[in-house]
Amino acid sequence: MRLKERVCLITGGAAGIGKATAEIFSREGAKVVLADVNEEAGRIVVRQLAPESRFDCVDVRDRKSVQSWVDEVANRYGRVDVLVNNAGILRDSLLVKMKDGELIKQMSEEDFDLVVAVNLRGVFNCTQAIVPHMVRQGCGVILNATSIVGMDGNLGQTNYIATKAGVIGMTKAWARELGRYNIRVNAVAPGFTATEILSSMPEKIIKAMEDRTPLGRLGHPGEIANAYLFLASDEASFITGAVLRVDGGMVVGT
C-alpha cells in the first residue's frame, strides 16, 4: 500500500504501460484517475480498479479540456498527488527517402506536428495545469514518459525522438523550478516493450528488437509500471530530475 489514499492521474491509461501503471497503482492503494481518448477501452480498464477510481475522456492536446479535467479532479478528491504523463503516439517515417538521386518520400509536416502536439505539448499542458494544485498543498510527484530513443536516437523516428528528448529537458527544468515546493519531477525511459503498438509489427522486427537487448527479450508493461511506482512512492523521496532507463540494457544502434 505504498500509494494509500493518494490521488494519481494517469494520461494514456487505456492500454499498454498506462494501463499496467493504473493497475499497479490501484493495488498499492491509490485513487486512480485515468485519461485517454479511447473512451471504450478506458471504461473497461477503470472497472477493474478500486471503487474510487474513475475514467475521463481527455485529449491532452486540448489545453482547456486538460485544465477542466485537472481542476474537477482536484475539487472532487481535495488534492492531486501524482501525475503520470504517459499519453503518447508514434508516426514513424524516415526524414527523407531517396532513390537514384530522387526524393520519393519524406516525413510529413502533419505527422511531425501531431506527434509533437501529443507527446510534448500534451506533457506541458497537463503539468502546467496540475502544478498550482500541488504547490498549494505543498507536495506532489510528476512522472514523465520518455524513451531510450530520446537519449540514443533511432532510425525513422525524428518526430518521436524530438518529443522524447524534449520531455527529458522539461523534466530537468521542472525539477529545478519545483523542488522548492516539495514537488519531485522524474522521467522513465522504457526500451522496447511488448505493448499493443508492437502487435502490428512483423515478427522479424520484433526479433531484431530482442536481439539488440542484452537481456534477450522485450520488456513487459508491468516492469515499466514498477519503475513509476517506485518513483511515485516515498521510497524515492530524494530523487528528482532523474531519467530512469528500464530497457534491458539496450543501447540503440544504427
The rounded distance, in Å, linking the Cα atoms of 11 and 26 is 15
- Residue pair 193/145 in contact by the 8 Å Cβ criterion: no
- Give bridge partners of residue 98 from the DSSP assignment: 103
Which amino acid belongs to residue 147?
S
Alpha helices for 48-120 (secondary structure H)? 63-77, 109-116
What are the φ and ψ backbone dihedral angles of 221, each rounded to 5 degrees? -50, -40
The rounded distance, in Å, linking the Cα atoms of 19 and 36 is 10
Q: Which of 166, 115, 129, 145 is nearest to 244 (CA)?
A: 145
Q: Which three cell numbers stand for residue 116?
A: 509533437
- Report the length, in residues, of the chain: 254
Give the DSSP letter string of 43-98: HHHHTTS-TT-EEEE--TT-HHHHHHHHHHHHHHHS---EEEE-------B-SEEE
Q: Which of 168, 187, 188, 185 is nearest to 128 (CA)?
A: 185
> Known catalytic residue: 160?
yes
Q: Which of 25, 31, 13, 141 is nearest to 86 (CA)?
A: 13
Q: Which three cell numbers stand for residue 96?
A: 527523407
Catalytic annotation, residues: 160
